[in-house]
Chains A and B, each alone.
Chain A
Amino acid sequence: MADKKERAAELLQGTLDLLILKSLERGAMHGYGVAEWIHESSQDVLRVEEGALYPALHRLELRGLLSAQWGISDNNRRAKYYALTGAGRKQLAQETEYWRRMSGAMARVLQTA
Chain B
Amino acid sequence: MLPEWVNRTWLRLKALTKRAQLDRDLEDEVAFHLAMRERKNRADGAYADEARCAARRQFGSATLVKEEARTMRTFYGLETFSKDIRYGLRMLRKNPGFSVIAILTVALGIGASTAIFSVVNSVLLRPLPYEQPERLVQVWESNPQRGDERNVVNPMNFLDWREQNQTFTSMAAVVDGSTTLRMGGEPLEVPAILVSPQFFSMLGVAPLLGRTFTDEDGIRGHDQSVVLSYEFWQQQFGGRADVVNRRLQVDEEPATIVGVMPRGFALPNVKGSMWLPFVIDRSDRFAQEGRYMMVVARLKPGVSLSQAQQDMERVAQRTVEARPNFNTGWTAKVLPMLADATRDVRQPLLVLLSAVGFVLLIACANVANLLLMRGTRRGREIAVRAALGAARGRLVRQLLAESLLLAAAGTLGGLAIARWGLNGLLALIPEAAPLPRMQSIRMDSAVFLFALGLAFCTTVLFGLLPALRLSRVNLHDTLKQGTLRGGVGGNRVLRQTLVVAEIALALVLSVGAGLLLRSFYRLISVDLGFQPEHVVSMHVSVSPVKHPDGPDRARYITSLLEAVRRTPGVQAAGTTHFLPLEDRVSGSCFALGAALPTNDADAPDSQFLVITPGYFEAMGTPLLSGRDFSERDASGVPSAAIVNEAFVKRFLGGGDAVGKQLSVCWTVPNPVQIVGVVANARQTRLKDAPEPTIFLSNMQAPMYGATFVVRAAGDPGQIVRSVEMAIHRVDPEEAISEVQTMMHVFSDSASDARFQVVLLMIFAGIAVALAMIGVYGVVSYSVGQRTQEIGIRMAMGADARAIARMVLREAMLLAGLAVAIGLAGALALTRVMESLLYETKPTDAVTLVASCVAILLVAIGAAMLPARRAMRVDPMVALHYE
Contacts and interface: CB of A to CB of B under 8 A. Distances in A.
Interface of A: 1-3, 5-6, 30-32, 35-36, 49-52, 54-55, 58-59, 61-64, 70, 73, 75, 77-80, 86-87
Interface string B37-75: 101100000000000000000111110110011011110
A13 B65 CA distance: 14
A2 B39 CA distance: 34
Contacts of A61: 11
Contact of B1 (A2, A51, A86): A86
B839 interface: no
Contact of A54 (B35, B40, B65): B65
B70 to A, nearest CB: 9
A6 B391 contact: yes
Contact of A80 (B2, B29, B68, B74): B29
Given A32-B32, A62-B8, A77-B35, A49 B73 contact: no
Given A5-B68, A54-B29, A73-B32, 17 more contacts: A2-B71, A31-B32, A32-B33, A32-B37, A36-B40, A49-B60, A50-B37, A50-B60, A51-B61, A51-B62, A62-B73, A63-B4, A64-B1, A64-B8, A75-B39, A78-B28, A79-B32
Given A62-B11, A63-B4, A31 B33 contact: yes
Contacts of A77: 32, 35
Contacts of B69: 54-55, 58
B853 to A, nearest CB: 53
Given A3-B72, A58-B72, A50 B32 contact: no
Interface in B1-47: 1-2, 4, 7-8, 11, 25-26, 28-30, 32-33, 35-37, 39-40
A35 B33 contact: yes
Given A2-B76, A6-B391, A30 B32 contact: yes
Contacts of B73: 58, 62
Nearest to A59: B72
A64 B7 contact: yes
Contact of B65 (A51, A70, A78): A51
A43 B197 CA distance: 99
B69 to A, nearest CB: 5
A62 B72 contact: yes
Contacts of B77: 1-2
Nearest 8 Cβ contacts at the A-B interface: A51-B60, A2-B76, A51-B65, A32-B36, A2-B71, A49-B60, A55-B68, A51-B59
Given A78-B32, A87-B1, A55 B72 contact: yes
Which of B4, B29, B37, B60 has the most chain A CB within a 10 Å cutoff?
A: B29
A75 to B, nearest CB: 8
A5 B65 contact: no
B29 A1 contact: no
Contacts of B32: 30-32, 73, 77-80
Contacts of B64: 51
Nearest to B26: A54
Contacts, number: 85
B444 to A, nearest CB: 36
B80 to A, nearest CB: 10
A24 B64 CA distance: 25
Contacts of A64: 1-2, 4, 7-8
A28 B35 CA distance: 20
A3 B26 CA distance: 17
A54 B76 contact: no
A29 to B, nearest CB: 12
Nearest to A33: B36
A78 B37 CA distance: 15
A51 to B, nearest CB: 4
Contacts of A3: 72
Contacts of B25: 70, 80
Contacts of B2: 64
A58 B35 CA distance: 20
Nearest to A35: B33
A52 B368 CA distance: 40
Contacts of B72: 2-3, 55, 58-59, 62
Nearest to B30: A54
Contacts of A78: 28, 32
A55 B65 contact: yes
Nearest to A51: B60
Contacts of B76: 1-2
Nearest to B2: A64
A58 B22 CA distance: 12
Given A54-B29, A77-B35, A5 B1 contact: no
Contacts of A75: 36, 39
A31 B29 contact: yes
A43 to B, nearest CB: 17
A30 B32 CA distance: 9
Which of A49, A55, A87 has the most chain B CB within a 10 Å cutoff?
A: A55
Which of B1, B36, B58 has the most chain A CB within a 10 Å cutoff?
A: B36
Nearest to A86: B1
A32 B62 CA distance: 14
5 contacts: A2-B74, A30-B32, A35-B33, A55-B72, A78-B32
A80 B29 CA distance: 7
Nearest to A55: B68
A61 B8 CA distance: 9
Given A51-B64, A64-B7, A5 B391 contact: yes
Contacts of B35: 77
B71 A5 contact: yes
A10 to B, nearest CB: 13
Contacts of B33: 30-32, 35, 50, 54
A62 B30 CA distance: 18
A87 B33 CA distance: 27
Nearest to B63: A51
Nearest to B32: A79
A73 B29 CA distance: 12
